[in-house]
Chain A
C-alpha cells in the first residue's frame, strides 16, 4: 500500500466507487457514507463549534478521514455556516446556539411558507414567488425583498417606471444584510474548497458533486409543509400536479451542476416517500413519476444520482425498479436489505444499511455480523456500497472501525 502514490490512491478509489455505482466489479466493496455530525463527535468538537469555526471543522474531518479512511469523503459540508445563518436570519432552521443545545443536530422547522392560495403564483413565476414571498418568510433579513416588483415587468421601458423599490429603506437594509451574509457564506465555501484540495492531496475524492430534492419534497419541505402537501393530494390534486411539473424542471436545473465532475454523484434527499406518508397509489401518482423524470434527465447528462431514500420504502421497491440499470445508486435506510437486493440487486447499486443503533449500542462483532450478512447475500455480484443506515451522527468508534475494516477485508471480489 505504502508504495502507491497519492495520485494512484485517488484514482484507485475513484475507479472502485464508480465501478460499484454502475454495478460493475471493483477490486472490493466500497465503504463510505454521509458522515454528518459524527466526525466532530469523534474529534471531541461540539457541533456548535464546528459550525462556527471553519478551521476546527476541517481539522476534525481530517482526523476522521485519517483514522477511518472512507473510500470517498464528505468533509465539513454538513457543519453548516452558523454565522451566515445568523446574519441571514434563517427562520426555517434551529441549530446549536440558536434554539438548540450546543451539541444537538440542527433541524428544519416545518412551516407553511407558501399558502394554498399561492399555488398559481408559484406555477406562473417560481423565481418571482421565491424572491418576493418565500425569501421574506424564510429569512428575517430579507423582509425588503417583499417590495420587489416582479422582474418580468421590467421589460421594454418598464424598468424606468418600476425601479423605485430599490431605494426604499427596507430594501436597502435587506441588501446590506444579504451582503454581510454572503460574505460570511463565502468564507465558509472557501473552507470547503480548501478541504477538498487537502483531501485530494491525501488521495481521497469527494463523495458529492451536487445536491437535489425530489419535486414532491421541493413543494412539501420548502413551500407547503408536510401536513399541507399530504392533504393537498386530496384537496387540490390539480394544483399540486401543476406545481410538481414546475418543481421537476427546478429539480433538473438544480442537479445538473454535478455533470462533468470526476465523481458525478448528485445526492437526492428523499424525505416524504415513506410508506406511512402516502399510499402506493398516491406514490405512483404524485411522487415517483416526477422524481423518475428528473432522475432520467440527470442520468442523460452523465450524472449518477444517489437517491437517499429515507425511512422504510420496501413497499415502493417494485415501482422504483423502473429505472435504467447500472446508472444510479439507491441508499437503503430502514428497508430490509434482502428484499431490496431481491428486487434491485445487480441492476441498481444499493448502499447501506448498517443499523445506526448497532453502531451506537452494539459491539464490533455485531457490526461485522451485519456487514457479513449483507455482503454474503450479494453472492459476489457487484453493486453494493456499505454504509450506515442513516446519516451518521453517533457511534462508538470501535464499531464504526469494524464496519470499515471488515468491509475492506471481507468485501474483496
Chain B
C-alpha cells in the first residue's frame, strides 16, 4: 500500500491518496511510514515541476494532500519522533506594501519539501521584521518576494536595513516575483534573482553546500 500511496499522491489522485492513508492507519501501519511515503511523493512532484510536467495547480493540490495527510497522522506520531535533519534555514516574505503571496508561498513550499527549514513571514513584511527574524533565527538564506513595482525600492530598503544591522554578510539574499530580473537583483543589492520556485531551491542549495 505504501507504493500505491506514493503513486496516488504523485499522480494527483487525491481521493485515492486519502483512502490509502486511512486504510494504512487502520491496518496499524506506523504513521511515520505514511509521512515518509508522502515526502517521497513530494520529491517526485518536485521533479515533475522542474521538468515542466507539473505547474502551479499540481503544487497546490500536492500541498493540500501533504497538509491533509499530516493532520491525519501527526496526532498518532510518537512524541520523541526523530527530527529530520534540515539542509539550512530560510526566512522568506513579501516585502512591505505588497500583499501578493501566491509565488512566495510556492517557493516556501518547494524549499520545505526540498529539505529546508522555512520561516514564512507572510506578506507586507516591514524591513524591521526581516531584520528581527534574521537576528532571532540566524538563517542561511533570506528570500524576498514582490509582485508590484513598488517592491523594487522596498527590497532595496530592506537590504539596506539588513546591512545597517550588521547582518548582510551573514545571509545570502534572493529575490523573486513576476517583474523581477537580474537587473532588479543588482538594483536592490540582493545576491541573486530566481525565476521560479526551483531556481530558488537551486540557489539555496548552492549557498548551504
Contact = CB atoms under 8 A, between A and B. Distances in A.
Interface of A: 94, 100-101, 104-105, 107, 109-110, 226-227, 230-231, 233-235, 274-279, 282, 310-312, 333-334, 355-358, 360-362, 389-394
Interface stretch (B128-136, B147-155, B165-173): B147-155
A35 to B, nearest CB: 12
B184 A234 contact: no
B58 A357 contact: no
19 contacts: A101-B97, A105-B148, A110-B101, A234-B58, A276-B196, A276-B197, A279-B52, A279-B54, A282-B55, A310-B178, A333-B178, A356-B149, A357-B184, A360-B153, A361-B187, A390-B149, A390-B179, A394-B150, A394-B152
A334 B195 CA distance: 11
Given A230-B60, A394-B152, A389 B179 contact: yes
A334 B106 CA distance: 20
Given A94-B99, A276-B56, A394 B149 contact: yes
B100 interface: yes
B159 to A, nearest CB: 13
Contacts of B179: 311, 333-334, 356-357, 389-390
SS of A interface (majority): loop
A393 B150 CA distance: 7
B28 interface: no
Contacts, number: 94
Interface of B: 12, 14, 52-58, 60-61, 64, 97-103, 106, 148-150, 152-153, 178-179, 181, 183-184, 187, 196-197
A355 B183 contact: yes
Contacts of A361: 152, 183-184, 187
Given A109-B99, A358-B183, A389-B179, A230 B57 contact: yes
A75 B99 CA distance: 26
Given A107-B148, A357-B152, A361-B152, A227 B181 contact: no
A94 B58 CA distance: 29
B57 A234 contact: yes
Contacts of A110: 101-102
A158 B30 CA distance: 62
Nearest to B147: A107
Contacts of B148: 105, 107, 393
The 5 tightest CB contacts between A and B, nearest first, are A311-B178, A361-B187, A230-B57, A104-B97, A357-B184
Nearest to A36: B149
B187 A357 contact: yes
A312 B196 CA distance: 12
Contact of A277 (B12, B53, B56, B61): B56
Contacts of A389: 179
Given A107-B148, A278-B57, A357-B152, 20 more contacts: A94-B99, A100-B97, A104-B150, A105-B150, A110-B102, A227-B102, A233-B57, A234-B57, A276-B55, A277-B56, A279-B53, A282-B55, A356-B179, A357-B179, A360-B152, A361-B184, A362-B183, A392-B149, A393-B148, A393-B150
B187 A278 contact: no
B99 A107 contact: yes
Given A334-B178, A360-B152, A230 B56 contact: yes
A101 B55 CA distance: 34
Contacts of A390: 149, 179
Contacts of A362: 183
A320 to B, nearest CB: 18
A105 B197 CA distance: 26
B40 to A, nearest CB: 21
